[in-house]
Amino acid sequence: GQQLNQSPQSMFIQEGEDVSMNCTSSSIFNTWLWYKQDPGEGPVLLIALYKAGELTSNGRLTAQFGITRKDSFLNISASIPSDVGIYFCAGQNSGGSNYKLTFGKGTLLTVNP
């Protein structure tokens, strides 16, 4: 099956710093999604990307769909303590009745005030 490599596995940063994380795949996807999960909660959708090369922002978050369709990155600018959590990338080949997501292993973000 498709494999997603997400890195880094964890990050410890100071408040105000920028953060970057990325995912690469062994095969192409036609949709990339980024989620954030707080402890004991379900993932919350942050950004959805549908076109190769697409760059999309959501507040301090920016994500890009790689031109090869095998990778995506997420940037967080000027981090704040509430950015703490686990960030997951997810790839999808949507169409027909199949909208299954393949998840990366997650990036644990810790922000020191």
Partner 1 sequence: GAVVSQHPSRVICKSGTSVKIECRSLDFQATTMFWYRQFPKQSLMLMATSNEGSKATYEQGVEKDKFLINHASLTLSTLTVTSAHPEDSSFYICSARAAPRNTGELFFGEGSRLTVL
Secondary structure of the chain in HEC code, one letter for each residue: CCCEEEECCEEEEECCCCEEEEEEECCCCCEEEEEEECCCCCCEEEEEECCCCCEEEECCEEEEECCCCCEEEEEECCCCHHHCEEEEEEEECCECCECCEEECCCEEEEEEC
Q: Is 84 in the site for partner 1 (CB under 8 A)?
A: no
Output 15 or 94, the one with its CB closest to partner 1: 94
Q: Binding mask 31-70 vs partner 1 (x if CB under 8 A, - otherwise)?
A: x-x-x----xxxxxx--x-x--------------------
Of 31 and 64, nearer to partner 1 (C-beta) is: 31
Residue among 35 and 73 whose Cβ is closer to partner 1: 35
Q: Strand 107-112 relative to strand 10-14: parallel, antiparallel, unpaired?
A: parallel
Query: Does residue 106 touch partner 1 according to CB under 8 A?
Result: yes
* Contact residues: partner 1, CB under 8 A: 31, 33, 35, 40-45, 48, 50, 88, 92, 94, 97, 99-101, 103-106
